[in-house]
């Protein structure tokens, strides 16, 4: 897997234009893309998971 396939949380927040608190509220409700915790403790989101999540949001709003 390429490094660009995994996004840092700030990159995700900038892409979807929401705050960290809002993201974690969505996550607590099970409405956020899946997070992956790396062995060093850093959090990443797979680009494919983010794209699929955004697609589901677009479908639900239509």
pLDDT tens for 1-58 read 565 699 999 999 999 999 999 999 999 999 999 999 999 999 999 999 999 999 998 9
pLDDT of residue 51: 95
User: CB of 32 within 8 A of CB of 15?
Assistant: no
pLDDT of residue 16: 94
Question: Domains in the chain: how many in total?
Answer: 1
Verdict on whether the full-model pTM lies above 0.75 = yes
Q: In which domain, by residue range, is 39 found?
A: 3-61
Band the pLDDT of 61: cuts 50, 70, 90.
confident
Mapped to the 3 state alphabet, what secondary structure does the chain carry?
Answer: CCHHHEEEHHHHHHHHCCCHHHHHHHHHCCCCCCCEECCCCCEEEEHHHHHHHHHHHHHHHC
Cα gap 8→59, rounded to integer Å: 25
pLDDT of residue 62: 75
């Amino acid at each position: 897997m390429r490094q660009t396939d995994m996004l840092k949380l700030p990159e995700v927040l900038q892409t979807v234009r929401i705050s960290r608190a809002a993201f974690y509220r969505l996550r607590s409700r099970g409405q956020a893309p899946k997070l992956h915790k790396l062995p060093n403790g850093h959090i990443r989101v797979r680009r494919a998971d983010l794209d699929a999540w955004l697609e589901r949001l677009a479908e639900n709003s239509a």
